[in-house]
Amino acid sequence: MGWIKDLWSFKKNPFSIRELSNSDELQKLFVDRKKEVKPLKNTFTGCEGGVVCGISGVRGCGKSTVLNKVLDEIKQENGLIIKVKASGTYAELDFLQKLLTDMCDQIEIQDLPEKVVEEVIRLKTNLLYTEKVAEGRGSEASIRASIKASILSFFSSEIGSEIKEKITKNVERQIKPYSKSTLSREILQFLSFLRSETKFDYIVVGIDETDKCRFDVAEKLLDSIKALLGTEHCHFVFVGTLQFHKNFAQAFKGLEEEATLASIFEDIVLITLFSNQEIVDIINKRLSYYSIGDKPKKPFSSEAMQVILELANGNPKQAMRLCSQGFMYFGDKGKEISPADLVEYFESKNYIQDLTRTEKEYVNVVKKLGEVSAISKKLFEELAKKGIKHKRKQYRVHLERLVNKRYLKKTISEKEQVVYMPSELCKHIS
């Protein structure tokens, strides 16, 4: 990382794509989303009963960062926050075990009463020596018998009965047979215990990355913790796509989809994509935050930044990814990065969509004319010279496709007519 500090005076790469998590980053780098953060925070801090909320949006739009901001503000107001990532291949029992493990791991026990410390230690010890079992006492008994036999097999058959008895007692003491019901009961009891033995005003559990979990059916996740959702003074927030929340709601049978969503979730906050100006604000905040000097250097020219904005299309994580990759490839030269360099590099990385032959001709004509409408005679004539003729409505279809691929941008002219013009990306395409 020497050249980042020597050539650009940054503490480290300012374009990391990881979510904002610590309090200092959330305070100084978080771009204003009051409409999303404030109602979530107030919902949790203003209700005593168990509240369930959702945070929805496309991948990369900033859902996890919004969750972290909400949890951080609640923590500042004497709340206990627990964050669990659901991404992976967890079965229901595995997820419950992870939930209890994360609860124990994230509690800062040094400032808590001795009773709470002892309970955390007990739970963590049990979780270390856990065997998954099916529901029912018969299953637990067979598991225990199998474990005892396995341990005893390590010793000689000549060992005395006294040694065998000690081994048996030790196994009984250490092996905790967890089924779905016993784990749910442990979590409920632990939440109630925390409420009674600590001074936390509320407990909020954030379950993130539900859109990345690989459950066969999304409802399984909800089903595994359904019994926990009404816990007094304990609230849950699920982060994922809207489709996940809809699948989630289907675990509660007997209601229509919208009614079911409303019956489970107090609120589902939709995280929208950013405007270009908001993404520029994010980037500028990061440059200032990681700069060693008072005046941070800008690695990208304004035209190069326009290329990044057009390719990101309002997605902050994609914008950071493009900035990071461009910076890491060209930044060691110590010079402002040009749009032509970026376009060539992004083409090689397949970040720029390919054009059909007809689309290439459209792009060349629009670049030549500077601005066209879907009913422009000049557009028809120039395309006709290249052998392209089709029904009038098809001209708009092709122009809209090029807008979606970021080669053209659409705006309203002074005559209140929809017009198309080359994007910054288009200007530098070979």
Going by C-beta distance under 8 Å and a sequence separation of 6 or more, which residues neighbour residue 316?
A: 60, 61, 62, 274, 279, 282
Note whether residue 69 is domain-resident. Answer: yes
**92-130 b/e with 16+ CB inside 10 Å = b?**
bbebbbbbbbbbbeebeeeebeeebeebbeebeebbeeb
The CB-side HSE value for 218 (13 A sphere, CA atoms) comes to: 20
Picking from 236, 270, 304, the residue at the C-terminal end of a domain is: 270
Q: Is 299 in the same domain as 392? A: no
Whether the CB-CB separation of 53 and 235 falls below 8 Å is answered with yes
Whether the CB-CB separation of 247 and 218 falls below 8 Å is answered with yes
Work out the burial of residue 145: count CB atoms within 10 Å of its CB; fewer than 13 is exposed, 13-18 middle, 19 or more buried: exposed
Note whether residue 105 is domain-resident. Answer: yes
3-state secondary structure the chain: CHHHHHHHCECCCCCCCCCCCCHHHHHHHCCCCHHHHHHHHHHHHCCCCCCEEEEECCCCCCHHHHHHHHHHHHHHCCEEEEEEECCECCCHHHHHHHHHHHHHHHCCHHHCCHHHHHHHHHHHHHHHCEEECCCCHHHHHHHHHHHHHHHHCCCCCCCCHHHHHHHHHHHHHHCEEECHHHHHHHHHHHHHHHHHHCCCCEEEEEEECHHHECCCCCHHHHHHHHHHCCCCCEEEEEEECHHHHHHHHCCCCCCCHHHHHHHHCCEEEECCCCCHHHHHHHHHHHHHHHECCCCCCCCECHHHHHHHHHHHCCCHHHHHHHHHHHHHHHHHHCCCECHHHHHHHHHHCCCCCCCCHHHHHHHHHHHHHCCECCCCHHHHHHHHHCCCCCCHHHHHHHHHHHHHCCCEEEEECCCCCEEEEECHHHHCCC
Q: 360: which 2 tokens?
A: 């290439």
Note whether residue 91 is domain-resident. Answer: yes
Kindly report the CATH number assigned to the domain that includes residue 110: 3.40.50.300
Note whether residue 20 is domain-resident. Answer: no
User: What pLDDT, on the 0 to 100 scale, is given for residue 255?
Assistant: 46
Note whether residue 26 is domain-resident. Answer: no
Calculated CA dihedral for residues 166, 170, 173, 179, nearest 10 degrees: -120
Residues in the chain: 430
Q: Which residues face 85 on adjacent strands?
A: 208
Q: Is 40 in the same domain as 163? A: no
d(CA 370, CA 360): 15
- pLDDT tens-digit profile of 234-273? 898 988 876 666 655 555 444 455 555 556 778 888 888 9
Q: Is 74 in the same domain as 114? A: yes
Note whether residue 228 is domain-resident. Answer: yes
Structural domain count, the chain:
4
Q: Is 165 in the same domain as 208? A: no
Q: Is 293 in the same domain as 417? A: no
In angstroms, what CA-CA distances link 29 with 1, 2, 20, 114, 359? 22, 24, 8, 37, 40
Kindly report the CATH number assigned to the domain that includes residue 363: 1.10.10.10
Q: Is 96 in the same domain as 225? A: yes
Q: Is 369 in the same domain as 239? A: no
- pLDDT tens-digit profile of 103-112? 888 887 667 7
Q: Is 369 in the same domain as 256? A: no
Q: Is 76 in the same domain as 57? A: yes
Picking from 304, 331, 348, the residue at the C-terminal end of a domain is: 348
Domain that holds residue 95: 32-129+183-270
Note whether residue 303 is domain-resident. Answer: yes
User: What pLDDT, on the 0 to 100 scale, is given for residue 142?
Assistant: 54
Q: Is 69 in the same domain as 191? A: yes
Note whether residue 21 is domain-resident. Answer: no
User: What pLDDT, on the 0 to 100 scale, is given for residue 137?
Assistant: 47
What tens-digit pLDDT sequence spans the chain (430 residues)?
589 999 999 999 999 888 888 889 888 998 888 888 999 999 888 887 788 888 988 888 889 999 999 999 998 888 888 888 876 656 677 778 888 888 888 887 667 788 888 888 888 877 776 665 555 544 455 555 555 555 555 554 555 566 556 655 555 555 566 777 888 888 888 888 888 888 888 889 998 887 766 545 455 666 667 777 777 778 989 888 766 666 555 554 444 555 555 567 788 888 889 999 999 999 999 999 999 988 899 999 999 999 999 999 999 999 999 999 999 999 999 999 999 999 999 999 999 988 999 999 999 999 999 999 999 999 999 999 999 998 888 999 999 999 999 999 999 988 888 999 999 998 887 6
Q: Is 67 in the same domain as 156? A: no
Helix 302-312 × helix 276-290 angle, to 10°: 120
Q: Is 113 in the same domain as 187? A: yes
User: What pLDDT, on the 0 to 100 scale, is given for residue 124?
Assistant: 83
